[in-house]
Structure 1
Amino acid sequence: MARITKGILGGFSGKVGTIVGANWRGQDIIRSTPKPSSRPPSEKQQIQQAKFKLVIGFLQPLKNIQTRYFGSGSGSKSRVNMAVSYTISEAIQMTDDIPELVYNKVLITKGDLTGFQNVAAVTQTGNIIRLTWENNFAQGNASENDPVNVVCYCEELDRFEIFESVALRAALTADITLPAIYTGKEIQVWSYFHNSEETQASSSIHLGSLTLI
């Protein structure tokens, strides 16, 4: 891989002959076209490919959140890449050589903002999920003005519902209402805070698997 120093032509994107141009982390680079392998992937490679495909597909709808709030984003890895690496290494289990997500180990966000104290989620009639938590405004870098965010996922429908800034930390409770399509469905629920400046987030917490009523 080589880096392009902008001159008369500058950088380019796409394939030209045997080289490929792209922009990576703000720098124009060129690299040779990869040669296709004639060897079939090993069993270990197939399993790794299956893990990668599962994780990429699952995290894609969360890209906008994780671009802002997963880790520091420093070094050679982007925040999205860090989220993928974490999920593959920490939130996957194998069942008969088939990778499965372990939802209570999945992180939607990863950060240093003070998180929840004794948070809980319960269902209410009408596809409502009610969150409650305790006052920890004075703990660490918490602020009573930190917005609360909720992420819901239904495996049966393979569909996310994302609720941003539904309440402030000071409220100590928040209700979210999901569409009627989720009635009777099992929903995975996560929540996290970010600060009012949207520069920091807490690590998300998995609030359990709830069946909507």
Structure 2
Amino acid sequence: MAKLPEGILGPVSGTIGSIVGAKWRGVYYIRSKGKKRKKTRSKKQLASQAKFKFLQEFLKPFRPYFIVGFQNEALYCSEWNSAFSANYKAVTGQSPDFAIDYTLVKLSSGLQPGLRDPNVRYAARNKVEMTWTFQDEPMVTYDDQITMVIYCAEMNKAQGSIGGVSRADGKFVFKLNPRIAGKELDIFIYVSSLNRKLISPTHYLGKLIYASTTKP
């Protein structure tokens, strides 16, 4: 049964026949009611479903970072949906042997300039150090915030920092979770203005492999 909370000319909430009325982020909308599937899925549909599930599992550890990174893009859909669409092309291979092209992974989207000459290394077994050069150009300010995301594919875990380090600092030393310390890591960064109204695209910095000769 549907309700008309603001009268006959107002929004619809509930179900009327094959139409469903709902509200999302303060916006009322209607959609058709889903139909029950009767036919067996084809191989192509099963492969597409497997790819969908694979990407879902990959993105889960990154959720806190793309919730910020896509917040200005998610106008008519959620940040999760924006991130899912943006990363669909990052999935390579055929079912069931899917893989991720990390150079295509997107945790953010926008026009904010990124960092100049970013460089990242293992500073110790439990520390990652990133450095960059400050650039003075349009849309860039000293207090722009750096987000660094560290991903361990072996454990499907992500760790990072959203803000707390400014563009002017030029250096960021991050202490790793002991569970991923010393393992092969993939590093992603993006930049946002202090009020997060401007956000940069994602920059993939590559893989980090710990060497036992790394000095503490």
Q: TM-score range by the shorter chain?
A: 0.7 to 0.9
Q: How many residues align structurally?
A: 208
CA contact (8 A) 1:70 1:110 kept: yes
Unaligned 5+ residue runs, structure 1?
A: none
- 1:184 equivalent in structure 2: 182
Give me the CA root mean square deviation. Answer: 2.9
- 2:68 equivalent in structure 1: 68
CA distance in 2, matches of 1:54, 1:160: 16
SS of the residue corresponding to residue 116 of structure 2 reads coil
Q: How does 1:1-213 map to 2 (within 5 A)?
A: 6-7=5-6, 12=13, 20-70=20-70, 72-73=72-73, 76-88=76-88, 90-95=89-94, 97-136=96-135, 138-212=136-210
Q: CA deviation at 1:206?
A: 0.8
CA distance in 1, matches of 2:76, 2:191: 26
SS of the residue corresponding to residue 180 of structure 1 reads coil
Q: CA 1:31–1:198 in 2, change beyond 3 Å: closer, same or farther?
A: closer
Q: CA deviation at 1:212?
A: 4.1
TM-score by length of 2: 0.81
CA distance in 1, matches of 2:33, 2:199: 39
Greater Cα offset, 147-156 or 63-72: 63-72
CA distance in 1, matches of 2:75, 2:193: 23
Unaligned 5+ residue runs, structure 2?
A: 212-216
Aligned-pair identity in percent equals 25
Greater Cα offset, 97-106 or 116-125: 97-106
TM-score by length of 1: 0.82
Deviations 1:157-202 (A, max 9, x none): 1111121224211111111011111133211111111111121111
Partner AA of 1:87 in structure 2: N
Deviations 1:64-86 (A, max 9, x none): 43333327436644443222112
Q: CA deviation at 1:26?
A: 2.6
SS of the residue corresponding to residue 120 of structure 2 reads strand
CA contact (8 A) 1:191 1:207 kept: yes
CA contact (8 A) 2:159 2:177 kept: no
